Amino acid sequence: MAPLNKKTIREAAGLMGAAERVYVLSGAGMSTESGIPDFRSPKTGLWEKMDPVKTSSVDALMQDPEQFYRVAFKRYSSLIGTEPNIGHYALAEMEQLGFIRGVITQNIDGLHKKAGTRRLFEVHGHVRTCRCLSCGKRHAMEELLMQLEKDLPLPKCSKCPGMLRPDIVLFGDPMAEDYFAALEALQTDCDLLVVAGSSLSVYPVAAMPGMVSRLIIINLQPTPFDREARVVIQEKCGETLSAILAELKGRPGS
């Protein structure tokens, strides 16, 4: 693999160091270095192998819940044991040192939280908890997994006979509350957005970069916002963010 372009890394670090209110928007490409496949990469993307509307939607869950838990849910449950990569840790340290104010993520894997990011907007939910569709009681995800491991056809609430579902945003679901909090942060508190590992093709989150005046985009594939970005880096997120962090820490006054 070719070394990172030092000039581009310095440009990105310079923009981040000069900005006062920096946020990061992360997508599936942020977690591929943790062994989690993304959705839309040619030949390897998950949505090239299955129809998300048929397998990972509210309609799929409600119309055939046994099929949902037998097929689609395996994709989500497999995320629970994954670990953060150097990119997640770099962002957590950037927040700790005051270089960024928070992370907005499309990912449900919880790796930013595991890495130590404190101000985190999980706009598509997460796999830490589940909830009852009847009474609304929340449970740890382990409760749902334990029932499925016992070969029960559907996971049930301990408080009522209702069915449990994961606290993730499926196709057809309303957005999580974190999405609206993230919108407010971008509208009132952001002068630079760093996009890391997102194709910027899934709405409504894909519209977020249009809300800010300055952009840095780190993604292996081109995005619709590349022309508007001040810096575009088509490299892996982990090593790129680590290099930017090192540059930021090495600057006078850091």
Distance of CA 237 to the CA centre of its chain: 13
- Whole-angstrom Cα distance, residue 247 to residue 234? 18
Say if CB 18 and CB 230 are below 8 A apart: no
CA–CA separation, 118 and 112 (whole Å): 9
Catalytic residue among 88, 124, 126, 139: 124
What the block records as the tokens of 236 is 């892996």
Whether residue 204 has a cis bond before it, omega within 30° of 0: yes
- 139 catalytic, yes or no? no
For residue 105, give the 3-state DSSP assignment. Answer: strand
Query: What are the φ/ψ torsions at residue 52 (nearest 5 degrees)?
Result: -65, -35
d(CA 57, CA 69): 12
What's the rounded Cα separation, in Å, for the pair 61 and 56? 7
DSSP 8-state secondary structure symbol assigned to residue 4: P
| Among 42, 41, 121, 46, CA closest to 76 | 46
For 132, half-sphere exposure in the C-beta direction (CA atoms, 13 angstrom radius) is 14
3-state secondary structure of 148: helix
By annotation, the residues acting in catalysis are 124
